[in-house]
Copies of this chain bind each other. A is one copy, B any other.
Amino acid sequence: MKTNFRIVALVWALAFTTAMAFAADPLPAWNDGPAKQSIIAFVAKVTTPGSPDFVPVAERIATFDNDGTLWCEQPIPVQLYFALDRVKALAPSHPEWKTNEPFASLLKGDLQTALAGGDHALVELVMATHTGMTTVEFEKIVKDWIATANHPKTGKHFTAMAYQPMLEVLAYLRANGFKNFIVSGGGIEFMRPWTEQVYGIPPEQVVGSSVKTKFEMRNGQPVIVRLAEFNFNDDKDGKPVAINQHIGRRPIAAFGNSRGDQEMLEYAQGGSGARFELLVLHDDAAREYAYGPAQGLPDVKLGAFTQAVYDEAQKAGWTVVSMKDDWKQVFPPEKK
C-alpha cells in the first residue's frame, strides 16, 4: 500500500511538473530530444527557488556568438557582403581601386583572388569601408544596407536568416530572467543597429570587434569618429577577455559554433555552480549549409570550424545541436 501511494504521488508530481513546464512549449522549433531537453533542464534548475543550482536573476548572464550561431554565415559572413557593397558604392571616388588589391579583384567580382591576401587584405577592406565617418553616420549606412541587402542564395534579407530555434532560446532565457549578450568576432557597430529588432538584444548588450574611435567637435557638435586603426579582435581568447571587460561577470550559459567560440565556452564552464554550453553543428546542407565539424571534411577545409572543437564538446559534455536532427525549422516563417 505504502509503495502504491508513493507511485501515485510520483505520477501526480511528474504529471504536474510536466504540465507546468510545457503549458506552452517554449521551444516549438526544436525537435524533442537531448538537445532541447538539456536547455529546458538547465533553465528549470537555475530558476527554481530552493534548488541547489538556483542562480539569482542578476547572475543569469548568457553569451551568444553571432555568425553561425544566431544567423547564417554562409557562403561568406554577412559583414563581408556589407564591405563588398561599400566598395562598389565608394569606388567612383577611389579611382586607384581599379588597380590596387584587394579592391581591383573585388570590383571584378573575384572574391577568391581579393581575399587571397589573407588577414592583411581583410583588414584593408574593413578600414576602407568601415572607417573615416562618425558613429552616427556609420549607423545609418548599416541600417540602410541591412534593410535592403539580400542573401545570394535565398534572396531573403539577412536578418530573416536568423535561426528560429535560437530566437526561441533567446526569448525563453529572457522570460526566465536572463540577460543575453552577443559576443561576436563581427564588428560591434555593424551589429548594434539591428540586434535589438532582430534578437531583442539592446546595443549595450552587444560585444564585438572594434576599430579605435576619437571624440571630436565638428561644427560645434560633439561626435565620435571611427579611425582606420584596429582596436580589439573579439575572437578566440579575446572573447573571455571582452566578456570580462564589458560584462564583468562570468556567463553561466554560452552558445557558439566554431573554433572562435571555444575559449568562451570553456570560460563559461569554468565557473562554479550550474553551467550550460552549446555548440551548433552545421550539418544541414538541404535547409542551410554543411560545413562545421563532424562533417567528414579535413580540418584544412573546415578552417575555423575544426574537428577539435567538436571533440572537446563531446569530452566536456557540451550540448551539441545537430541542425538537421534537432531543429524542426531553421528560419522564421516568411512575413506576409
Contacts and interface: CB of A to CB of B under 8 A. Distances in A.
Interface of A: 58, 61, 135, 179, 188-189, 192, 196, 202-206, 210, 213-215, 217, 221-224, 237-241, 244-249, 263, 266-267, 269-270
Given A58-B196, A222-B267, A224-B240, A247 B203 contact: yes
Given A204-B249, A210-B245, A222-B269, 15 more contacts: A61-B204, A179-B204, A192-B248, A204-B204, A204-B246, A213-B244, A215-B237, A215-B238, A215-B240, A215-B241, A215-B267, A217-B266, A222-B240, A222-B270, A224-B267
B203 A248 contact: yes
A163 to B, nearest CB: 23
A202 B246 CA distance: 11
14 contacts: A58-B196, A179-B204, A189-B248, A203-B247, A203-B248, A204-B205, A204-B246, A204-B248, A214-B241, A215-B238, A215-B239, A215-B240, A215-B241, A224-B244
Contacts of A224: 240-241, 244, 267
Given A237-B215, A244-B135, A222 B266 contact: yes
Given A214-B237, A222-B270, A240-B222, A203 B245 contact: no
